[in-house]
Amino acid sequence: MLERIKEIIAKSGLSNGEFSDKIGIQKSSLSHVLSGRNKPSLDFVLKILDCFPEINSDWLLFGKGERGQISAPIVTDSPTTSPEIKQHIKPPFHDSGMEHSIDKIVIFYSDGSFQSYNSK
């Protein structure tokens, strides 16, 4: 499983620190797993599958079947993002009595597949 986790990190284009932040674990926990000191816990594996729903759980756990597509993260604050696009990234409504933040973005593709990005 260790090699498959390393493959997910490499294919995602994230550094180890960015990956640990994305799945919501401490950097030291990821370091211990990658060094072989600790084995990944069920919680660790579930966090990977939650943040990368396109990953086949049988592939991650047992090395069976297809891996699934791993996409690089979406960057919304790049200098090339136009103001028009940034405007559409904001929540579609605003209530002055509440603060809104984006928890999850789901992109649906025409072939029926989808990708989910969590803010955690």
Radius of gyration of the chain from Cα atoms?
Answer: 17
Q: Which amino acid is at 43?
A: D
Give me the residue spans of the domains in the chain.
Answer: 2-62, 83-118
Q: Which two three-digit tokens encode residue 20?
A: 């640990």
- pLDDT at residue 38, as a whole number: 93
- pLDDT at residue 33, as a whole number: 93
Task: Report the Cα 58 to chain-centroid distance in Å.
Answer: 18
Give the chain's residues under pLDDT 50.
Answer: 74-93
CA distance 11 to 94: 37
Q: What class is the 2-62 domain?
A: mainly alpha
Q: What percent of the chain has pLDDT over 70?
A: 69
pTM strictly above 0.75: no
- Packing angle of the helix pair 27-35, 16-23 (nearest 10 deg): 120
CA distance 98 to 101: 10
